Amino acid sequence: MQFLGLLKEKIKGIIKIREQLEDDFIVWRDNYEPQEIDYQGKPWGNLSGFDAITATKKLLNADITITSVSKGEIRYKIIRCNVTAIMSKSKSWIDPASKKYRPTSEILLHEKGHFMIEEAFARKLRKKLDEKIKNDVFVCKRINSEKPKITVSREAQNILNEVKEKCKKSTEACNKEYDNYAFDKSRKTNHSGQKEYYEKIKKMLQD
């Protein structure tokens, strides 16, 4: 009985998974309007085929609790997930050469669409994770004498990464489709196409 009491004390508490940020970043907000100063990265050059790049990603944090440890099996629940769309200022850039034939305001308007897409899929991911963790109790095997918290943290991170990776691929496909709508084959702005896709993104943000 004393041993079980000590074990429960060791596994008690919340396990936190927090993704680290290395760059200056902007968190998505509904009233965000891009500024040229937000694009501080180094352009890839004329051969890149892009006038600008908005480097966005989803930051995923989670809180986990262990419910039991028995016969080498650890049961745990992911009790909270938070997904945040962010933009890296140090990795985003506008090619100065592009401003000779396209207004900066036009470039920024298009790039805002990419950040909007990241936020739309961040919301989709958040919703999917909420549905996944609502009732699920996960089970993982304890490895040798490894502490339960370490095992659970690694296993939970793998589960979250798998879901996040699928969402990342969907986000990338949507960004590519957006560019196809917004530009014709000669990379000239297709204003009607961009406007049409903007409405699609707004709807995605509301879903």
Q: Provide block-wise average pLDDT over 10 residues at a time, the chain (207 residues).
A: 45 82 90 95 80 94 91 89 95 91 92 96 92 84 83 91 93 94 80 90 88
Give residue 4's pLDDT.
43
For residue 36, give every residue at least 6 positions away whose Cβ sits within 8 Å of its Cβ, in sequence order, or none. Answer: 94, 104, 108
Query: In whole angstroms, what is the distance from residue 123 CA to residue 83 CA?
Result: 7
Give residue 3's pLDDT.
40
Cβ neighbours of 64 (radius 10 Å): 23
Give residue 94's pLDDT.
95
Whole-model pTM above 0.75?
yes
Give residue 49's pLDDT.
77
Closest by CA to 113, choosing from 189, 33, 186, is: 33
Give residue 117's pLDDT.
97
Give residue 91's pLDDT.
95
Give residue 2's pLDDT.
42
